[in-house]
Amino acid sequence: MSRAFVRVFPSADAIGEHVAERLLDRIERAGASARQFVLGCPTGRTPKPVYGAMARRLAEKSQDLSHLVLVMMDEYLVPAGKGFQYAAADKPWSCHHFARSEIANRLNQGLTPGRRLRDDSIWFPDPRDPAAYESKIGDAGGIDFFILASGASDGHVAFNPPGSARDSRTRIIQLSEDTRRDNLQTFPAFGTLAAVPGHGISVGIDTIASAKESVMIVWGSGKRLTLTRMKRAERYEPDWPATVIHECVVGEILADTDAAKPPDAR
């Protein structure tokens, strides 16, 4: 483990092209070795340039994704009896909806059926048994590559809020107001802050740090503060969860020129 290196790109699209090339190469090599490739995925604005670039490349050059597994980071929860259940999958802000429309449908669009990402290869943690997600990931050989994103206002990663323990794993989390406000900005379809669910299920800090390779993507002026906080850190700092990138075995921070400006720059 060593402090994550920062690379700056001219735009979010340039970051997307860079990560897409790396991922598709690793996915192809895994297939040639007859093994799964397990990819940790966030939802929201930050990873969209990556998924878009992957889709464009796959449309130009077909590639087998039948051995690809997506480990989704989190999902919103709503009360159900004495516990919780997933938010409705048809809501445009739900992670299930995002995984289907923004990732699977786009990647599969130009592929023949036998080469597509399979529906049963998109995994979500189960609120009825969060610990089972860790076992499922372990049985698959661990996460090969994790795409990470950071909350703008409090540095949350997945739904891990400030104060999350370094050894935390998949669990149900009460979402902080800062996280909910960030998510309202990401998904205006919520309409109001009151409509953003108060709980979610999320992988933990240790789940993320255990990946074989990770990139933290930050782009846009709204991410200047979190990039500054990550650059100042040398290890995980619980008050800014995105600093988990420094705990990853192979970790890198990818920023665009706008995010790389000082927080008070115009």
Note the pLDDT tens digit of each residue in 172-224: 999 989 889 989 988 998 999 999 999 999 999 999 999 999 999 999 999 99
Q: For the whole model, what pTM was predicted?
A: 0.95
Domain boundaries, the chain: 5-256
Query: What is the number of other CB atoms lying within 10 angstroms of the CB of residue 157?
Result: 27
pLDDT in tens, 27-82: 999 999 999 999 999 999 999 999 999 999 999 999 999 999 999 999 999 999 99
Burial state string for 158-197 with b = 16 or more CB within 10 A and e = fewer than 16: bbbbbebeeebbbbebebbebbbbbbbebbeebeeeeebb
Domain 5-256 belongs to what architecture? 3-Layer(aba) Sandwich (3.40)
pLDDT digits (tens, 9 = 90+) for 83-134: 999 999 999 999 999 999 999 999 999 899 999 999 999 999 999 999 999 9
